[in-house]
Structure 1
Amino acid sequence: MTLDAVLTRIDDTLPEALERLMALLRIPSISTDPAYKADCAKAADWLVEDLKTLGFDASSRPTPGHPMVVGHGGAGAKHLLFYGHYDVQPVDPLNLWDRDPFDPELQDTPKGRVIRARGASDDKGQLMTFLEACRAWKAVHGSLPGKLTIFLEGEEESGSPSLIPFLQQNAAELRADLALICDTGMFEGRTPAVTTMLRGLAKSEFTLHAATRDLHSGMYGGLARNPIHVLTRILSGLHDASGRVQVPGFYDDVAELPDALRQQWQRLAFDHARYLGDVGLSVPAGETDRTPLEAIWSRPTAEVNGIWGGYTGAGFKTVLPAEANAKVSFRLVSNQDPVKILTAFRAWAEAQLPADCRIEWHDAIEGSPASVMSIADPAFEAARQALSEEWAIPAAFIGAGGSIPIAGYFKTYLGMDAMLIGFGRDDDQIHSPNEKYDLESFHKGIRSWARVLARLQ
C-alpha cells in the first residue's frame, strides 16, 4: 500500500477527525487558573485514551502542576518524539468573544472555513494534525509510521514549571533521534515552513539611584544629579547610528547567516512595508546593513521594554526624583550566552555612572540561549520536500523572532535537535478573543505529517 492510500483515508475521514478535535476543544484546559485544574487533568486523560486507540502505550504522568501525557508505539530504525501542549490561554475578556470559547464551531468566513474556539490553533488543532496522521497510517498499514514517542505538556501556557524536572527525571525514556514540534506556523500564512532558528532571551530590570530622597527642583535643579538624565543617556547609547549594539563583546558569538539560507529567505519576497504598515510604521530600524528578515530571525537585539521615574500623575510635581527604573531585554542568536551578555551589559552600564549614582539590579543573571537546528541532517530537507509536495509551494527553512523554550530544552536535557513544523496563520488570533484555526490548515496539516513521516521512516 502506498502513501496515496493514507492521504485518501485522511480525506475520507476528515469529518470524524474534526469531531475528535471538537471534543478536545470543549475541555477548558486553562493551565494558569487553579479553577481549571480538573479540566486540565480531563484533557490529559482524553488524550491518553485517544492514544491508546492508536496502539500507543500511553499514560498521564503526575507532576507538581498539571499532568504530562507520554505514549510509546511503533517500531523502526529512527526514533521520533512528537511534542505538543494541551493547555490553553485564559479567555478574558470574555465579552469580546462572539461565542462561548469552549463551544467550538466550524464557521464560514471570507477567507474560508475556520474552526473557532480557544485552543483551536494553539495548540490543540496543531497537535491533533499529528495524531490524525498516525490514525490514518495505522488504518491503512496496520501499524504506526515508525518508532514514535508522544509527549504532550499541560503547562506550556503557564511557564512550564514542571517541564525541566520532568525532562531530567525521564531523559532516558524520552530521548529520541529527533523531536518534532507542531507549535509554529506558515510564512505569511501561505508558505509551508520548517523553523530552524529560534532566538533566545535574556532580561534585566534595574533601578538607578542618586540622592537619598526626591529633591525640590527649585532648590536643587541644576546642581544635583537627576537619575532620569543618567538613565536615558545610558540607554540611548545602547545602539550606534547604524543600529549596532554597543555593549562590548555583544557580537562575539554571533555567526553569519549561510549564503544559501540568505538566498532562500530573499526568495520569500518578504513585504516589510506591509508588515510595518500593519502597525502604523514605515521605516525599518535596527542594523542598517541587514535585510528585514535577517533582522527579526537571525540577528540579536537590545530593547528597552519599560522606563519610569519621578512623578507621573496628573499635573506637575516639580522634583528631581531619587531614582529611575528600566527593563531591558536581549533577543539572542547563534551561540550567544545569556550569562555572558547580561554580565557584559551590567559592566557596560556601571562603567558609565557618574559620581553619586549607583545601580541596583533586581534579577538573576540568567536566560535562555538561541536554538539553531542543523539543516545538514537529511531529515530536514526530506521534511521540506514533503511539505512542498503537499502545499504545491516550495517550502522554506525559516527563523522565528520569538522563543520556543522547549526546542532548547530538548537540546540541553535530551541532546537532540528539534524540527518545528506548524500550520498556523498570522490571523489565527492565538491568545486573543475569537481564536481560530483554518480548516485547510487542519486538513492539509494532517496530510503534511503523513508525507513527512513517510519520508522520515
Structure 2
Amino acid sequence: MKVEDVLARIDANLPQAIDRLFGLLRIPSISTDPAYAAHCREAADWLANELSALGFDASVRPTPGHPMVVAHSGGTGPRILFYGHYDVQPVDPIDQWHRDPFDPAIEETPNGPVIRARGASDDKGQLMTFIEACRAWKEVHGSLPPNLTIFLEGEEESGSPSLVPFLEKHREELQGRIALVCDTSMVAPGVPSIASQLRGMLKDEFTIHGPRVDLHSGHYGGPALNPLREMARIVASFHDDETGRVAVKDFYEGVHEVPAELLQQWENCGFDEREYLESIGMTMPHGEKGYSTLEQQWARPTLEINGMWGGYQGAGSKTVIPATAHCKLTCRLVGDMDPDKVRARIRAHVEARLSPDARVTWDQDLDGAPASVMDTSRPEFQAAREALSEEWGREAVFVGMGGSIPIVGMFKQLYGMESLLVGFANDDDAIHSPNEKYDVKSFHKGMRSWARILGRLNAD
C-alpha cells in the first residue's frame, strides 16, 4: 500500500479528526494554575486512552508536577521519538475572547475556516496532527508505524520543572535516533518550514545601590548619587547608537555568519517584512544595521532590557532620590555563544562603569541555555524536506527561530539526539493570546505532512 492510501483516509476522516481534537480542546489543562491540576490529569488520561485505542502501549506517568504520557509502537529498530505538550496557557484577559476559550468551534474567516479555542495551535492541534496521521496509517496498513515513541509533556507552559529528572530517569526508554517536535510554525502561510536553528537565552537581574535610604531631593539633589540616573547611563552603554550592535566587549564571540545557501532560502521564503513590522506598529527594523529582519530575528544575538524601575511609583509626585534602581535583562544567543561567558562579560561591563559611591548586586538565578543548531545534512532532514515539498506544492525551507525551545537542547545535551522541528502554525494564530486559532488547512495538511514524513522515514 502506498502513502496515497493513507492520505485518502486522512481526507475522508477529517470531520471525525476535528471532533476528536475538539474533545481534547474542551479540557482546560492550564498547567501554571494549581486550580487546574485535575484537568491536566484529565488531558493526560484522554491522550493515553486515545493512544491505547490505536494500539500503542500507552501510559500516564506521574511526576512531582503534572503527568507525562508515554506511548510505544512495536518494532526492534532504532526508535523515533515524537514530542508535544498537552498543557495550555491561561486565558486571561477573558473579556477579550469572542467565545468561551474551552468551547471549540469552526469559524469562517476571509482566509478560510479556523478552529478557535485555547490550545488549538499551541500545542493540542499540532500534536493531534501527528496522532491522526498514525491513526490513518494504522487503518490502512493494519499496524502502527514501527519503532515509534510518543512523549507528551504537561508542564511546557509552566517552565517544565519535572522534565529534566524525567528525561534522566527514562533515558533508556526515550532515547532514539531522532526527535520529532511539532511545537513550531511556518515562516509564511503555505510555506512548509523546518526549523534548523533556535536561539539560546540567558537572563540576569541587577540592582544599583546609592544612598543608604531614599533622600529628600531638595536637601540632596545635586550632591547625592541618583541610582536611577546611574542605571540609565549604564543601560544606554549596552548598545552602539550608530550600528545597533551590543557594545559589551567580546559579546559576539561564537557568532557565525549565515551560510550563503541558507540566506538565499530565507530571502525567498515568502516572509513579508513590511507586514511583520506593521503588525506591531513599526515602520522599520531597529536592530543591528546591515542585517535583514529575518537575520536579526533568527541569526543575530540580542541584549534586551525587559524591565527597569526604582523610586516612587504611586499617584502624584514624591520628591525623592531613590536608594536603589533595578534592571531585568535577557539575551538571545546564537551559534556557539557560551551563556556563562556572556553573563560574565555583561556583569564586567556594568561594574566597570559604576560611579564612586555606587555598588551593584546581582541576581543568583543563573538561568541560561546555548543556541541549538541542527545537523541538516542528516538523511532524516532531507526526507522531511522532500515530504513537505511534495505535500505543499512548493519547496520546503530551513528556517531559524527567534525564540527558544528548551526540550531541543535537553534532547541534545542528555541524549545526544538531534531534533527535527516541523509545525504548521501561522504567525496570526494568537498563541498565548485571546482568540487563539488554528487554520483547518494547517490541521488537515499537517496530518498529511506527517503521514508523508513517516512514510519516508520508514522507507530508509
> Under a length normalisation based on structure 2, what TM-score does the superposition of the two structures give?
0.96
Task: Give the match for residue 407 of structure 1.
Answer: 408
User: How far off its partner does 1:345 sit?
Assistant: 0.8
Q: Aligned pair in 2 of structure 1 residues 383, 125: CA closer, same or farther (>3 Å)?
A: same
| Counterpart check, 1:159 vs 2:159 | yes
**Secondary structure of 2:360's aligned partner:** strand
- Residue by residue over 1:196-223, the C-alpha shift from the partner in whole angstroms, topping out at 9 and shown as x without a partner, is 1111111111110111122222332222
What residue number does 1:348 align with? 349
Instruction: Please tell me whether the aligned partners of residues 56 and 73 of structure 1 are also in contact (alpha carbons under 8 angstroms).
Output: yes
Deviates more, 1:312-321 or 1:125-134: 312-321
Task: Kindly state the Cα deviation for residue 264 of structure 1 after the two structures are TM-superposed.
Answer: 0.9
Take 2:151 and 2:335, find their aligned partners in 1: how far apart are those partners? 27
Give, in angstroms, the shift of residue 302 of structure 1.
0.4
* 1:434 match: 435
- The residue type paired with residue 226 of structure 2 is N
- Equivalent position of 2:11 in the other structure: 11
Is the 1:310–1:320 Cα contact (8 Å) retained in structure 2? Answer: yes
**Which residue matches 2:170?**
170
Structure 2 partner of 1:373: 374
> Hey, what's the Cα distance between the residues in 2 that align with 1:109 and 1:274?
19
The match for 2:232 is 232
Per-residue CA shift, 1:339-358, capped at 9, x if unaligned? Answer: 11111111111011111110
- Secondary structure of 2:417's match? coil
Alpha-carbon separation, structure 1, partners of 2:400 and 2:177? 22
**Where does 1:83-94 land on structure 2 (aligned, <5 Å)?**
83-94=83-94
Deviations 1:99-145 (A, max 9, x none): 22222112222221111221111111110100111111111112222
**Residue correspondence of structure 1 range 40-439 to structure 2 within 5 A:** 40-75=40-75, 77-240=77-240, 241-439=242-440
Instruction: Check 1:366–1:378 CA distance in 2 against 1; reply closer, same or farther (3 A cut).
Output: same
Q: Which AA in structure 2 matches 1:92? A: D
Task: Write the deviation string for residues 271-305 of structure 1: whole angstroms up to 9, x where unpaired.
Answer: 32221122111121121121111100011000111
1:326 aligned counterpart, secondary structure:
strand
TM-superposed deviation, 1:363: 3.1
Determine the C-alpha separation between the residues in 2 that align with 1:192 and 1:81: 21
CA distance in 2, matches of 1:100, 1:311: 40
| Structure 1 residue 76 displacement after superposition | 6.3
- Residue type of the alignment partner of 1:71: A
Distance in 2 separating the partners of 1:53 and 1:316: 65
Q: Residue 261 of structure 1 aligns to a residue in which SS?
A: helix
Distance in 1 of aligned mates of 2:379 and 2:356: 58
Alpha-carbon distance between aligned partners in 2 of 1:155 and 1:404, rounded to the nearest angstrom = 13
Counterpart CA distance in 1 for 2:391 and 2:282 is 35
SS at 2:428's partner residue? Answer: coil
In 2: Cα distance, 1:271 partner to 1:367 partner: 31
Per mean C-alpha deviation after superposition, the further-off stretch among 128-137 and 251-260 is 251-260
Task: Report the Cα distance in structure 2 between the residues aligned to 1:281 and 1:106, rounded to whole angstroms.
Answer: 32
Using the TM superposition, give the Cα deviation of residue 269 of structure 1 relative to its aligned residue in structure 2, in angstroms. 4.7
Q: Kindly state the Cα deviation for residue 309 of structure 1 after the two structures are TM-superposed.
A: 1.8
2:442 partner amino acid = S
Post-superposition CA distance 1:173-206 (Å, at most 9, x none)? 1000100011111112331100111111111111
Q: Amino acid of the residue matched to residue 274 of structure 1?
A: E
In the alignment of these two chains, the number of paired residues is 457
Structure 1 letter corresponding to 2:400? G
Question: Which letter does structure 1 place at the counterpart of 2:7?
Answer: L
SS at match of 1:166: helix
Secondary structure of 2:429's aligned partner: coil
- SS state of the match for residue 243, structure 2? coil
Cα deviation, residue 95, structure 1 = 2.6
Q: Give yes or no for contact 1:343–1:365 (8 Å, CA) kept in 2.
A: no
Equivalent residues of 1:126, 1:183 under 8 A apart: yes
Task: Report the Cα distance in structure 2 between the residues aligned to 1:309 and 1:92, rounded to whole angstroms.
Answer: 28
Cα distance in 2 for partners of 1:65, 1:58 equals 19
1:410 is displaced (CA, Å) by: 0.9
In the TM superposition, what whole-angstrom CA distance separates every residue of 1:41-62 from its partner, at most 9, and x where no partner exists?
A: 1111111111112221111001
Distance in 1 between residues matched to 2:150 and 2:453, nearest whole Å: 16
Q: What is the CA deviation profile of residues 126-166 of structure 1, one whole-angstrom value per residue up to 9, with x for unaligned ones?
A: 10100111111111112222310000011111111111110
Give the secondary-structure state (helix, strand or coil) at the position aligned to 2:441: helix
Q: For residues 312 and 33 of structure 1, what CA distance do their matches in structure 2 show? A: 29
The superposition leaves residues 296-335 of structure 1 with CA deviations (integer Å, 9 ceiling, x where unpaired) of 0011000111111222333332222221111111011111
1:238-266 deviations in whole A, cap 9, x for unaligned? 11121111222211111221111111111
Asked if structure 2 preserves the Cα contact closer than 8 Å seen for 1:85 and 1:154, the reply is: yes
How far apart in 1 are the matches of 2:189 and 2:270? 13
Secondary structure in structure 2 of the residue aligned to 1:427:
helix
CA–CA distance in 2 between the matches of 1:318 and 1:118? 46
Question: After the TM superposition, which parts of structure 1 deviate over 6 Å for at least 4 consecutive aligned residues?
Answer: none
Using the alignment, how far apart are the partners of 2:225 and 2:100 within structure 1? 55
Q: Which runs of 5+ in 1 are unaligned?
A: none
Question: More displaced, 215-224 or 410-419?
Answer: 215-224
Is contact 2:191–2:270 with CA below 8 Å preserved after alignment? no
- Secondary structure of the corresponding residue to residue 52 of structure 1: helix
Q: 2:33 aligns to what? A: 33
Secondary structure, in 3 states, of the residue corresponding to 2:427? coil
Kept after mapping to 2: 8 A contact 1:339/1:366: no
